[in-house]
A and B are shown apart, each in its own frame.
Chain A
Amino acid sequence: MQKFPQFLFPFIALSTALSGQAAKAPTTDPATAAPKTIELAETGHCAEALPALSGITRKQADKDLKRRAGLDGVRCAMGLGRFDDALEFLRTLNREFPTDPDVLYLSIHTFSDLATRASEELARSAPSSYQARELNAEAYESQGKWDQAGQEYQKALAKNPDAPGLHFRIGRLLLSKPNPPADVVEQARKEFQAELKIDPNNAGAEYVLGELARQDQNWDQAVEHFSRASKLDPAFGDAFLGLGEALISSRKFPEAIPPLQTAVKLEPANPGAHYNLATAYSRSGRKTEADKEFAIHRQMTQKEPAQTPAQQENPPANPN
């Protein structure tokens, strides 16, 4: 099991070492209170400092002190196991300093640490639950251990055959595996269909079935699935784009225009949405609108490098 990322809390060890020693209480002089509280926290006296840190973070006018108090507050609260307090400090920091690298870095590690703790708790309290199996499966999947992931998903399914999301994940796993068997698409299709029987509102499953139909050149089926996906999730830009592309492929150019217009609204930075909308306009005889969309697409593609292997001019600076 992964240990807590101790390097984030170098002062916690110190705090533990000093736990038997008496610490000075924070001063009440407003001019010196904040720096002294911060010093207290940074020398490991978290329990004493934490209540005052909260006040400084909320009320302190000096931005630098406010930021330092917030960062120390997160570290102290996590070290003391007061996770609600840690999250409150983080909320304040992210509101006040949304682009600060220290704040973002600490946020990532705090959430990461909380996720680790929750997964440990799941493993301790309900090790045989389908949720634990599913989490294991996801872990294997993210490590590229496809077969182990598949086995864990099957175990989760055995525990709870009606659990929503499991068939979807199994289907996606099948399609992601390298060197799949020849009938992998059919196997995956069955999983997505099974998912929809359990959860008819799963827009993702409808979308993937649409893509599979599109790759089979089965335009009518692709249109049906993409239409349902876009109705289930009206913010699902890719579903509208898929619907438009399928309609274009079946040469229904005027019908492709409305979903593609929606795709452009939902994903204005997606060059593919503009390109397909332009194509639909162009082949419907709407030349002016086509030219406008083609121009937007051209601008976007000129800015965006082509999809090519990860190769960069000049290496990053050697960290050593």
Chain B
Amino acid sequence: MKIPILNPQALLQSRRRFLASILGAAAAGAIPRWARALPQSPYPFEEVLATTSGITWKHVAGKSAEKYLPETTGAGCAFLDYDNDGWMDLYLVNSGACDFFTPTPPLRNALYHNNRDGTFTDVTEKAGVGAGGFGQGVAVGDYNGDCFPDLYVTQYGKSILYRNNGDGTFTDVTGKAGVAAPGWASSAVWFDYDNDGRLDLFVCRFVDFDKAKSKDCHAGEDAKRGYCIPHLYRPMASWLFHNNGDGTFTDVSKSSGIGNYLGKAWGVVATDINNDGRMDLFVANDTVANFLFANRGNGRFEEIGTQAGVAYSAEGRPRSGMGLDSADVNQDGWMDLFVANIDHEMYSLYQNNHDETFDDQALATGIGAATRLMSGWGLKFFDYDNDGNLDLLLANGNPDDLIEELSHHQVGYREPLLLFHNSGKAWTNVSAQSGPIFSKPFSARGLAIGDFNNDGAVDVLISVNDDTPFFLRNNIGAQNHWLGITLVGKKANPDAIGARVTYQAGDLKRSRMKVGGGSYLSYHDPRIVLGIGKRPKLDWLEVKWPQPSGRVERFTDLPVDRYITIVEGQGKWK
């Protein structure tokens, strides 16, 4: 027997490190009572195959021997109703030509029209939204108030603004609008930061990167070439563009204060963390502190992430923030935050303390243990079973294709989706009970929610790095009652970003804010679906429109199990 040389110091020095390994130990748990009561078939979620949907488009990462970092980070996806026919269409982002990649034949993004029968038709060419650069993400918003959603496509290189012409076609207006945001753009969000009733644009910028600056990284015992860890690259400031209302934008990054902060931004959500009626920004940064830009009015933002407790881990370490979201998950009237990180960092659920500080509840909710070895990208709070409580769906996958060798298979390169059910009192990981799709591993990146078949059960679109995207059809949401609403701002911004909807159905009272963005590189169905469980009707619904309106409108005699539209100031729904 070989007796190794003992090293008592080494035994002692990792007291903390070895404790970190136990966090996942208690992850295995019993199946909750509500989940046992679910019908065995169909499962809550079911994969819709390309052969059924007609979505044959595929993401091509452009993977090379040189391992250029953008290859592993894309791409995003979106639900949008580009032709205003009341049915959600899809937009999918692809890689493309850039200084380190010349695809043959050329690659393009895809716009799929919803045929209203569960199938989709590729209308990219007619619509003129193929892009062609090295795409990353997409943000959808009606920036010009013509009631047709416009597209902002982020790219490595320079981004594109496609104005919706209202006739099924789009026009590239990037140059006139002045929103090219050169560099490596990732997620973007439309929101009205100065409450002038027009949608402004925030664009996340990742690191200072181009082919010449790409670093040569190697890992493992045999020093294989791999994707570099982002801390090797210089951080950059993100962009904020003010909408001038005439089709042009002004770069206010510096004057707003946002340009003073160098980060490595992947995800952004516009939310109101302090209920002051001004939309704030939570930005997930990779390997550096996250940002929480508190909107102080007069066009100025204050970065308060560290003081707020959302910049670092509890141990004070910067993590690899990627996807994120915001919602009032505990229904105390204050917006909470969520951010997904890389393996061994856990994801964070930040509960709002009502004083611009947050406490991480990841461990208390079990989300920490379940995500300890995961790497999270797209994610969204939504009420998938329409019981009135916001649940959480996460798309995962490690960015490093050597990770299984490096971590001795403890961490996977492809990882399964995660679904957490919120009972209103506790979170339960229900992934294993939610369908066979939850046991399949993916290199998932983008995640968008949307009801593609208008049954009130919110479905999910997942984009996969270097593979075909897929749908999750929601089979459970329609088993409860619901009301779907489209909000149209008039004095407030057209998409009603920042609106708060409160509703009561019997003993159930709930409140939702319409946030801007969330997830990773992706955008969502703009409609809000309000679940009421088995209760037969909604008693009332109140909309507090965002500033500069601030109007509060209350509605009764509401239908259920259908979609309605509420236009600001009309005092009625249709």
CA distance A120 to B16 in the complex (A): 32
**A176 proximity list for chain B (CB < 8 A):** 18, 21
Q: Kindly specify which of B121-129, B214-222, B243-251 makes contact with the partner chain.
A: B214-222
B5 CB within 8 Å of chain A:
yes
B263 CB within 8 Å of chain A:
no
B432 CB within 8 Å of chain A:
no
Asked if B21 contacts A307 (CB within 8 A), the reply is no
Asked if B23 contacts A215 (CB within 8 A), the reply is yes
Interface residues of A in 173-187 (CB under 8 A from B): 175-176, 178, 180, 182, 184-185
Please tell me the number of chain A residues within 8 Å of chain B, measured between CB atoms.
61
Interface residues of A in 88-140 (CB under 8 A from B): 111-112, 115-116, 119-120, 123, 135-136, 138-139
B314 CB within 8 Å of chain A:
yes
A11 CB within 8 Å of chain B:
no
Say yes or no: A115-B403 contact (C-beta < 8 A), given A309-B219, A314-B218: no
**A274 proximity list for chain B (CB < 8 A):** 316
Say yes or no: A276-B5 contact (C-beta < 8 A), given A185-B26, A282-B307, A310-B219: no
CA distance A245 to B4 in the complex (A): 36
**B344 proximity list for chain A (CB < 8 A):** 307
Of B1, B217, B364, the residue contacting A311 (CB under 8 A) is B217
Asked if B3 contacts A2 (CB within 8 A), the reply is yes
Asked if A311 contacts B215 (CB within 8 A), the reply is no
**B406 proximity list for chain A (CB < 8 A):** 309-311
- Number of cross-chain contacts by CB at 8 Å: 147
Asked if B2 contacts A2 (CB within 8 A), the reply is yes
Of A138, A294, A316, the residue contacting B223 (CB under 8 A) is A316
Rounded to whole Å, the gap between the CB of A247 and the closest CB of chain B is 13
Of B231, B345, B410, the residue contacting A305 (CB under 8 A) is B231
Q: Mark B296-307, 1 if CB is under 8 A from A, else 0.
A: 000000000011
Asked if B320 contacts A313 (CB within 8 A), the reply is no
Of A136, A172, A180, the residue contacting B25 (CB under 8 A) is A180
**A153 proximity list for chain B (CB < 8 A):** none
B376 CB within 8 Å of chain A:
no
A275 CB within 8 Å of chain B:
yes
B22 CB within 8 Å of chain A:
yes
CA distance A276 to B313 in the complex (A): 10
CA distance A138 to B309 in the complex (A): 40
Asked if A309 contacts B22 (CB within 8 A), the reply is no
Interface residues of A in 222-272 (CB under 8 A from B): 238, 245, 249, 271-272
A208 CB within 8 Å of chain B:
yes
Asked if B317 contacts A307 (CB within 8 A), the reply is yes
Considering only CB atoms, which chain B residue lies closest to A175 in the complex?
A: B22
Q: Mark A277-290, 1 if CB is under 8 A from B, else 0.
A: 01100110000001
The winner among B19, B223, B317, B319 for most chain A CB atoms within 10 A is: B19
Q: Mark A296-310, 1 if CB is under 8 A from B, else 0.
A: 011001000111111
B342 CB within 8 Å of chain A:
yes
B558 CB within 8 Å of chain A:
no
CA distance A2 to B3 in the complex (A): 7
Asked if A312 contacts B363 (CB within 8 A), the reply is no
**A211 proximity list for chain B (CB < 8 A):** 16, 19
Interface residues of B in 346-371 (CB under 8 A from A): 357, 359, 363-364
**A185 proximity list for chain B (CB < 8 A):** 22, 25-26
Asked if B1 contacts A308 (CB within 8 A), the reply is no
A315 CB within 8 Å of chain B:
yes
Asked if B345 contacts A307 (CB within 8 A), the reply is yes
Asked if A175 contacts B21 (CB within 8 A), the reply is yes
A6 CB within 8 Å of chain B:
no
B318 CB within 8 Å of chain A:
yes
CA distance A305 to B306 in the complex (A): 18
CA distance A2 to B226 in the complex (A): 37
A204 CB within 8 Å of chain B:
yes
Considering only CB atoms, which chain B residue lies closest to A245 in the complex?
A: B314
CA distance A314 to B216 in the complex (A): 6
Rounded to whole Å, the gap between the CB of B472 and the closest CB of chain A is 29
Asked if A182 contacts B28 (CB within 8 A), the reply is yes
Asked if A313 contacts B18 (CB within 8 A), the reply is no
Of A136, A172, A306, A315, the residue contacting B218 (CB under 8 A) is A315
B232 CB within 8 Å of chain A:
yes
Of A142, A204, A271, A282, the residue contacting B317 (CB under 8 A) is A271
Asked if B363 contacts A309 (CB within 8 A), the reply is no
CA distance A308 to B4 in the complex (A): 28
Considering only CB atoms, which chain B residue lies closest to A294 in the complex?
A: B306
**A297 proximity list for chain B (CB < 8 A):** 306, 316
**A175 proximity list for chain B (CB < 8 A):** 18-19, 21-22, 25
B65 CB within 8 Å of chain A:
no
Considering only CB atoms, which chain B residue lies closest to A132 in the complex?
A: B3
Asked if A294 contacts B307 (CB within 8 A), the reply is yes
A19 CB within 8 Å of chain B:
no
**B6 proximity list for chain A (CB < 8 A):** 115, 119, 135, 138, 142
Asked if B306 contacts A238 (CB within 8 A), the reply is no
CA distance A278 to B307 in the complex (A): 9
The 5 closest A-B pairs by CB, nearest first: A275-B316, A315-B223, A311-B219, A315-B218, A306-B287
Query: In the complex, given contacts A136-B1, A211-B19, A278-B306, what are 10 additional A-B residue pairs having Cβ atoms less than 8 angstroms apart?
Result: A1-B2, A120-B3, A142-B4, A176-B21, A238-B15, A271-B317, A275-B315, A297-B306, A305-B229, A307-B345
CB pairs A–B below 8 angstroms (19 shown): A2-B2, A135-B3, A139-B1, A175-B25, A182-B25, A182-B26, A185-B25, A204-B15, A238-B15, A272-B316, A282-B357, A297-B316, A298-B289, A305-B231, A306-B318, A311-B229, A311-B406, A312-B218, A313-B232
